Structure 1
Amino acid sequence: MAYQKTITYNTSGRGTYDITDDINQLIAKSGVDIGLCNVFIQHTSASLIITENADSAVRHDLETVLKRLAPDGDPEYRHDYEGDDDMSAHIRCMLTNDSLTIPISNGCAALGTWQGIYLYEHRTSRFSRSIVVTVMG
């Protein structure tokens, strides 16, 4: 059995957006009790992460680290067609994930107690982001 759905999110700028409930709703809708869920973002300047869902300071600290690793407006960047955050967003995407595969148990994502699934917007402006969710079981 397989089920696939594309969902769209409108982001309001750089940051993390909790999509855990939406993913669990799609898994429930699929009718799969045991299997796998693949979540894939169709962009190169936003990504997906699984991280702590209880303390937002964790996500703040992740942003602090990524600012150091991929600063906006580095004069060495050649790709800056869409602004100072363009190339840094591509680097951030490469350092994180464009897809996640999550086990399904009892009809929902088998995440740990403190885990959540997040869309991570790396651009500073608003964007519409498409995520393909495929459930197999």
Structure 2
Amino acid sequence: MKHFSAEWKIQHGGRGLHELTEKLQDWLQSIGAREGLVNVFVPHTSASLIIQENADPDVQRDILGYFARLVPDDDPHFYHRNEGPDDMSAHLRCVLTQNSLVIPVREGRAALGVWQGVFLFEHRTRPLTRQVLLSFQGATGEF
């Protein structure tokens, strides 16, 4: 059994779903992953990870709209406002999602469903650079 790890810096334009699927599949191929598990982790409290449909952009718009209604920016009930009106709402949106994904790897690829994609879900409105940590454990080599 082999173990590989990597760190990515993801720059983006702010709040939204930023797809990582192709980058993840390319990384697995580059290390010769065959069968095992890949863990994707973001060490942040205002960005998270989700697996979601990546075919119809309306799904992403609806997710963003739902979170905007569920946890609005600048809610007058929030005490924590240190970094602006989107600060506490970003923390709460992160609590409602996840910081880590574990995905099976089969035949050298993350075993995602036909319409599934891996997304960095940025909850802050300004452009940022986020860290994504990857870890693969399993078999490598030729098929």
Q: For the superposition of Structure 1 and Structure 2, which TM-score range results when normalised by the shorter chain?
A: over 0.9
1:101 is aligned to 102
- Corresponding residue number in structure 2 for 1:36: 37
Match of 2:76 in 1: 75
Corresponding letter in the other structure for 2:123: H
Unpaired runs of at least 5, structure 2: 139-143
Q: How many residues are aligned here?
A: 137
> Stretches of 4+ moved more than 2 A in 1?
none
Match of 1:52 in 2: 53
RMSD, matched Cα: 0.7
TM-score, structure 2 normalization? 0.94
CA distance in 1, matches of 2:85, 2:57: 26
Per-residue deviation, 1:84: 0.4
C-alpha offsets along residues 96-116 of structure 1, whole Å, 9 cap, x if unaligned? 110100000010100000000
Identical counterparts, % of pairs = 45
Structure 1, unaligned runs of 5 or more: none
The equivalent of 2:90 in structure 1 is: 89
Q: The residue matched to 2:133 in structure 1 has which SS?
A: strand
Deviations along 1:113-135, one digit per CA (max 9) or x if unpaired, are: 00000111110001110000101
3-state DSSP class of the match of 1:136? strand
Post-superposition Cα deviations, 1:56-75, rounded to whole Å, max 9, x if no partner, equal 10011111111121110001
Q: TM-score by structure 1 length?
A: 0.97
CA distance in structure 2 between the aligned counterparts of 1:101 and 1:46, rounded to whole angstroms: 17
